Each structure stands twice: as structure tokens, then as C-alpha cells.
Amino acid sequence: MNKQYPGRRLWMVVRLLAWLPLPLVTGFGAAVATLVTLVPLRYASAYRVVLINLLATHPQMSYAEAKKIGRQSLRELGRTLTEFSHVWHRPVEETLSRVTHIHGEQAFLDACASERPVLMLSLHQGSWEISNLYVGDKGSRDKTLIMYQPHPATLMDAMVKAARERTGSVLIPTNSQGVKKALAAMKAGGTLGILSDHNPGNRSNPSVPFFGYDVPTPALIDKLVQRYRPHVFIVSCIRGEGGVKDIHLHFEEAPAIEQANDTAEILTAMNSGLQRCIDRNLSQYQWTYKRFKWSPSGRRNWYRQSNRLLSEIRKGTDRKALDLHPDAKQ
């Protein structure tokens, strides 16, 4: 099938949602996501992944609490996905006007004005797409690069790329050509943004702790830090009490990453920073991501056996016996 065809249908849906009021659109997204949590678990694979991730990373969390936070997380994900339509197609000024708090802005702007390069490490939490527009607007035009995973449908990819570049940032793909551009940007003293909570495609990447589990972590970040010693910021973007019209953008300086001397120290400090952001607002993190699929010794069977594992937890089986505990033998 032509890649344009499925992309065109999705493109039309996104365009339609962009014309509707934002509270209606994100409310619809939250409602649809809520339905996923109401069907039997054996049919709700995304909800099972959420529950497995929450229970494995938070040993003291009860099953009932995990279900509550899991439902909230899927509702927030529904809001995030439908919010994309407005972020990509509504006027930039309209979207940025929803940002009510910017924490650490002056430190970020000062870093961008210095001769040293700037490295932004972000994560899939809350209204994370909005941070792309902000940094493009505040950074030096054509000197702010954002790494991204191209969409397989060419029409959707073109739409997303054009939307994200509206404020002056330049998107580069997460492939060898993109890496070359990222290295060149750092060498020239530019600004680079990377979504750093993903599973790197190549399993040769080093494994370091994340929520107590060794997981493959992007080696590129270590290379950038050690070679260019940039200013480093952990960037997060969450919805406040006012919902989609109350966006809080955080730029957190990361001296532990900047001052680290080896690969394990740099990447462990990064994962610790991401973990702090996640724990501050558990329900807005994208827990549907299978971040813990791989261990240094091979594939973890958490997600393949999620239905059985959750059934055992409901019966009261010790999570350590199920290898769903940081202290269990991995």
C-alpha cells in the first residue's frame, strides 16, 4: 500500500480536530482513552503495559493505586495525542499563550547566549510537543536542532516536520545523517534537543539504571557531553491545574551530567533526572512505552506475559518472585 494513503486519512483527522475547540478535542481524547481501561484486561494491551510499568518501577505501589494512576495516565495520553492537532495547526501565538509558567527560563536563555553549545534532554510527558515551538522561538534561528523519528507515512511526516519548524528550529532524523548534523551543531555552539527516554534502536548502546533496572540508553548523549561539554538541561512540559490552558515548561540545569567523567556516570545522571521529572507527575508520563523490554542479558518477558503477571499480582504473589521488582535478579 502506498505510504501516502494511510497517512492521508490520519492527516485529514488531525486537520479536522484542529478546527474544533481545544477543550472539546482533548476531552474527546480523554474519553476514548478511558474506554480502554473499562474493557477486560486481556483485550486492553496498552493498559496492561501501563500497569506493568507502574508496578515494576514503584515497588511500594499497590495494585489498586496502579489502576487509579494507570487510568489517569491513559486519559492524559488521550489529551496529549489529540492536543497535537492544535499544536501543529493552530497559530503558534495561540499555542504559546497557553504556557503560563516557565521555570528556569533565564538560565536557559543565558546558556543559549553563551559560546558553549546547549543540549536539551526531554521526555514523553504532558504537552511535550509545545516545548519544540518554544525553543525554536527563543533560540537562534537555524541553530536550534531537534532530533525526531520520521513518520512512516510521508504525508504525515511532512506535516509534522513543517509544523515543528514553524518557529525556526530545524528537525533532523534519528539516523546517521542526523547524528552528523547533531555533532556539527554542537561543534558550532548551537542548541540540540533530544527525546532521551526512548529505547535506542541499536542494542549495542550501554545499559544503565532507570527506575532500578538496567536498560539500553542512547550512547549519542554520552558522546555529545564528553566531546563538547555543553550546557545541559532536562526539559519537561506538563499541564497544571488549569489543564490544557495551563502549561508549565521546566528547564532544569543538570550539573551532574555536565560534570560527569565517564559513560556510565553521564547516562545514569541523565536517567536519574528523567526519573525525577516523571515521579513529580506520574499520571502525565507516557507509560504505554515498553521502555524496559531489554535487559543486558536479553528480552524481559514482562509485556509478552503481562496478562499472567497482573493476574498473579492480584492474587498477592510477591513481585520479586515475578522479576517485577528492582531488587529481583535481572
Whether pLDDT at 193 is above 90: yes
Whether pLDDT at 190 is above 90: yes
| pLDDT, tens only, 139-165 | 665 689 999 988 777 888 888 899 999
Handedness of CA 153, 158, 159, 161 (dihedral sign): positive
- 97 band by pLDDT with thresholds 50, 70 and 90: very high
Whether pLDDT at 291 is above 50: yes
Cα(247)–Cα(241) distance, rounded to whole angstroms? 9
The whole-number pLDDT of residue 157 equals 86
- Cell 541499536: give the residue: 202
The whole-number pLDDT of residue 1 equals 46
- Amino acid at site 121: L
Average pLDDT score over residue span 99-105: 97
Question: What percent of the chain has a predicted confidence (pLDDT) above 90?
Answer: 85
Question: What percent of the chain has a predicted confidence (pLDDT) above 70?
Answer: 96
User: Among 1-10, 150-159, 187-196, 274-283, where is mean pLDDT lowest?
Assistant: 1-10
The whole-number pLDDT of residue 142 equals 62
Average pLDDT score over residue span 228-252: 97
User: Among 6-10, 96-100, 125-129, 322-326, where is mean pLDDT lowest?
Assistant: 6-10
Q: How many CB atoms lie within 10 A of CB 206?
A: 18
Q: Which helix (H) or strand (E) is 145 found in, with range?
A: strand 144-148
- Amino acid at site 268: T
CA distances from 295 to 26, 51, 203 (A): 36, 19, 10
From 15, 8, 35, select the one nearest 82 (Cα to Cα).
Answer: 15
- b/e burial code for range 65-81 (CB count within 10 A of at least 16 → b): ebbebbbbbbbbbbbbb
The whole-number pLDDT of residue 329 equals 61
| pLDDT, tens only, 167-176 | 999 999 989 9
- Amino acid at site 78: G
| pLDDT, tens only, 7-65 | 778 888 899 999 999 999 999 999 999 999 999 999 999 999 999 999 999 999 999 99
- b/e burial code for range 173-197 (CB count within 10 A of at least 16 → b): ebeeebbebbbebbeebbbbbbbbb
Whether pLDDT at 4 is above 60: no
* Phi and psi at residue 110, to the nearest 5°: -65, -40
From 205, 325, 327, select the one nearest 266 (Cα to Cα).
Answer: 205
| pLDDT, tens only, 196-220 | 998 887 778 999 999 999 999 999 9
Whether pLDDT at 275 is above 80: yes
- Cell 489502576: give the residue: 67
Cα(249)–Cα(235) distance, rounded to whole angstroms? 7
